[in-house]
Structure 1
Amino acid sequence: MRLGLLATSIVTFAGIMVTLPSMAAFDSVEALGQALFFDKSLSKNRTQACATCHSPESGFADGRDNGVGGAVSLGDDGKSLGDRNAPTAAYAAFSPGFQLNEEGKYVGGQFHDGREMDLAGQAGGPPTNPIEMGMPGKAAVVERLMENSAYTTAFEQFYGKHIFNDAERAYAAMAESIAAFEKTGLFAPFDSKYDRYLRGEYELTLQEDLGMTLFFSQQFSNCNLCHQLKQLPGSEGETFSNYEYHNIGVPVNRVVRKLNGVAEDHIDHGLLDNPQVDDPNQDGKFKVPTLRNVAVTGPYMHNGVFQDLRTVVVFYNKYNSRSTKRQINPESGKQWGAPEVNENISLQELETGPALDDKRIDALVAFMKILTDKRYEHLLE
């Protein structure tokens, strides 16, 4: 897929060459979407773009501290903080459309609760979200698009010469263009050490090899119950998520709640907040994230409550270990916080497998580190 633009004004993000829209003529919908993805003029104060919270320099996650250790994102107004962690946009195109599958389980969609069917739906959300990009409505966003002659030319070329006669259609076209960009190989290179190992181009260390064995074996861990999509380990194109929804007992991020104005006793119901879902048995469930680039896209969990990847593995292990040590959050030195939603916890999956000693925990972390795209390996250092 060629993303070339017929102009200059080029900047580079994490090895991705981006031509900005002021002087550009776009030769594809993907190229138009690329410019839109990086365009801050689509936010109220012109300070924020899609790439602000999904930065290509940070694994397409939010690499800013935001005063909360990166747990949640800061809005265009410079003060509003979200309540959920911005998931990576890398490999997001592989999530299926939101649906109830043959097993009666909800899968897929975009956002932590699957409330948008696909990438276009997701791309259309932040510009008009009052605590994100803050635009007052779709028509206002379209007016910003029309400020730029390169955009108007491209939209009329790709979506019809009367596209701007209907703000809803023009806004949808913007979202579709961004989604087209997010479906390109720039977001999913599949060139990690793990992928290179499968191609015979990288030799695993003993620790990485042990971690891989543990990861894919239900006899020794429960990781692949949710973080394996393909039927067989080593299958090409593995995204390390089955895109199901589970409640794993994640505690409230009280640090964030003290700063973002959301009441500490507020409950994030996850999947049950999805307007397409009214089954109370889905309360507290969130979509299983990809593990691609997981070592460089923390903090972790839907609310960014854990800073370190090893902490996440220890948290999972608490369900299988009777050790007092495993009941302590290593980041706080205190007992794990109570689950935000205590019902519907996926104990069948969480309690599968034996307790893990430190050697095996470290091996699993080592394996997850080799799921990092080549261009981000320097971030591991």
Structure 2
Amino acid sequence: MKPMWIPAFVAMMAAKSAIAGSAYPTIETLGEALFFDTNLSANRTQSCATCHDPEYGFVDPRETDAGKAVSLGDDGTSLGDRTAPTAAYAAFTPEFHRNEKGRYIGGMFWDGRAATLEEQAGGPPLNPIEMGMPDKASVVERLMENDAYTEAFEALFGGGIMQDTEAAYNGMTRAIAAFERTDVFAPFDSKYDRYLRGEVELTKQEELGRVLFFSQQFTNCATCHQLKASPMDPRETFTSYEYHNIGVPANRDVQAANGTKTGWIDPGLLANAMVDHEAEKGRFKVPTLRNAAVTGPYMHNGVFEDLRTVVLFYNKYNSKAKARQINPETGKTWRLPEVAKTLAVAELTEGPALEDDRIDALVAFMKTLTDARYEHLLED
């Protein structure tokens, strides 16, 4: 079922369709159809939107044996090791590269293994524990079942394209990426954006959180979730697109549910074929904080349920209080990092310990980063 929040977008594209005489007159409308098409999975049960549900901040809201930490595959049994990151604002991610300081930047997935949005779109259909299609040719065969797709592909990418498997598959990824670059995925209309435009005022608690968030003196939030980090857009995406090891522990519930071997360690960035430096082990891409309040669970493996827990997790590095060394979700001491050797000690220990009122203020500020169409989820 199409999401309830884009009728204007759909109506606009339908009007264009009537004029052009095609079901999908633009690459964006074709991409929209492909994004929601479950026929592109082996058992015809899963689409891009299944794990990136536009009704829930473009993450996966489904419950599994591991809660909502990881996604269930098209086969109805497979579970992954990592949570599905939001597809919202992903279009502003720079292509995977190494900068002048030697740091890896950008790319898609938690380890940047897809350099571009197009490459990312081509991954899940062929992943055996996701959409499960055996090969690109099988995907193209599914596309050719739909005459409207064939017509659109030939109109948009050239006649005879469906007889060239590689070209047709690339056309599919280009279309999906084009749809993900529309304002549907990045409206920039959160309370924070409206505050910047002078349309609303922040509460005292939200304002305190904003000041703390951007203050190098009181927190290190902006070190990784810094201002205007994207080279493609001047608006704030709340991520540096860098990779860091912040000491996240393994999610034992996920490992028990998906049958991971005891002692397995997620290599993080080192799993990227373009990276061969042991010093990158255990590092994961800094996610956007936009819609963070409604897209839990958190961290690359969904190990934390609550946004406040995440702030407390960071604060444990700065606080000597015994109470701050307890995970409120388990009532036990924070578990050790999966990979301790590459821990970002300097970044994590910057700034003083925070009292409850300041932790609550930071959470309140991050809630203001929620897109307007998801603000009702804050109440849930």
Please indicate, yes or no, whether the TM-score normalized by the shorter chain is above 0.5.
Answer: yes
Given residue 226 of structure 2, which amino acid in structure 1 is its aligned partner? Q
Q: How does 1:33-52 map to 2 (within 5 A)?
A: 33-52=31-50
Q: CA–CA distance in 2 between the matches of 1:319 and 1:86?
A: 27
Check conservation: 2:112, 2:285, Cα contact below 8 A: yes
Of 1, 5, 15, the residue aligned with 1:15 is: 5
Residue deviations 1:244-279 (CA, integer Å, cap 9, x gap)? 000000000000100102113111010001000001
What value does the CA root-mean-square deviation take over the aligned residues? 1.6
* 1:106 aligned residue: 104
Q: Does 1:206 align with 2:204?
A: yes
* 1:91 aligned residue: 89
* 1:219 aligned residue: 217
Q: How does 1:146-161 map to 2 (within 5 A)?
A: 146-161=144-159
Check conservation: 2:36, 2:47, Cα contact below 8 A: yes
Q: CA–CA distance in 2 between the matches of 1:252 and 1:15?
A: 36
Structure 2, unmatched stretches of 5+, are: none
Structure 1, unmatched stretches of 5+, are: 1-10
Given residue 88 of structure 2, which amino acid in structure 1 is its aligned partner? A
Check conservation: 1:43, 1:133, Cα contact below 8 A: yes
Q: How does 1:48-63 map to 2 (within 5 A)?
A: 48-63=46-61
- With structure 2 as the length reference, what TM-score do the two structures score? 0.94
Q: CA–CA distance in 2 between the matches of 1:218 and 1:259?
A: 40
* 2:142 aligned residue: 144
Q: CA–CA distance in 2 between the matches of 1:244 and 1:324?
A: 31
Given residue 62 of structure 2, which amino acid in structure 1 is its aligned partner? R
Give the Å deviation of 1:340.
0.5
Identical-residue share of aligned pairs (%): 66
Check 1:14–1:242 CA distance in 2 against 1; reply closer, same or farther (3 A cut): farther
Q: Does 1:293 align with 2:291?
A: yes
* 2:181 aligned residue: 183
Give the Å deviation of 1:67.
2.7
Q: Does 1:132 align with 2:122?
A: no
* 1:368 aligned residue: 366
Check conservation: 1:14, 1:375, Cα contact below 8 A: no
Q: CA–CA distance in 1 between the matches of 2:146 and 2:322?
A: 61
* 1:319 aligned residue: 317
Check conservation: 1:254, 1:264, Cα contact below 8 A: no
Residue deviations 1:142-188 (CA, integer Å, cap 9, x gap)? 00000000000000111111111211111111011000000011100
Give the Å deviation of 1:230.
2.1
Q: CA–CA distance in 1 between the matches of 2:217 and 2:228?
A: 18
Check 1:85–1:34 CA distance in 2 against 1; reply closer, same or farther (3 A cut): same
Q: CA–CA distance in 2 between the matches of 1:304 and 1:253?
A: 7
What stretches of structure 1 move > 3 A for 4+ residues in a row? 17-21
* 1:165 aligned residue: 163
In structure 2, the residue corresponding to 1:186 is in which secondary structure? Answer: coil
Residue deviations 1:210-229 (CA, integer Å, cap 9, x gap)? 00000000101010000014
In structure 1, the residue corresponding to 2:166 is in which secondary structure? Answer: helix
Q: CA–CA distance in 1 between the matches of 2:374 and 2:191?
A: 11
Check conservation: 1:294, 1:369, Cα contact below 8 A: yes
Given residue 3 of structure 2, which amino acid in structure 1 is its aligned partner? F
Given residue 176 of structure 1, which amino acid in structure 2 is its aligned partner? R
Residue deviations 1:69-124 (CA, integer Å, cap 9, x gap)? 21000000111001000000000011100000111110000000000111110000
Of 338, 345, 357, the residue aligned with 1:347 is: 345
* 1:7 aligned residue: none
Equivalences, count = 367
Residue deviations 1:38-71 (CA, integer Å, cap 9, x gap)? 0000001100000000000010011111232210
Check 1:275–1:229 CA distance in 2 against 1; reply closer, same or farther (3 A cut): farther
* 1:253 aligned residue: 251
Give the Å deviation of 1:236.
5.4
Check conservation: 1:14, 1:56, Cα contact below 8 A: no
Q: CA–CA distance in 1 between the matches of 2:94 and 2:317?
A: 29
Check conservation: 2:144, 2:150, Cα contact below 8 A: yes
Q: Does 1:278 align with 2:272?
A: no
In structure 1, the residue corresponding to 2:184 is in which secondary structure? Answer: helix
Q: CA–CA distance in 2 between the matches of 1:14 and 1:252?
A: 36
Check conservation: 2:22, 2:152, Cα contact below 8 A: no
Give the Å deviation of 1:329.
0.5
- With structure 1 as the length reference, what TM-score do the two structures score? 0.94
Given residue 344 of structure 2, which amino acid in structure 1 is its aligned partner? S
* 2:329 aligned residue: 331
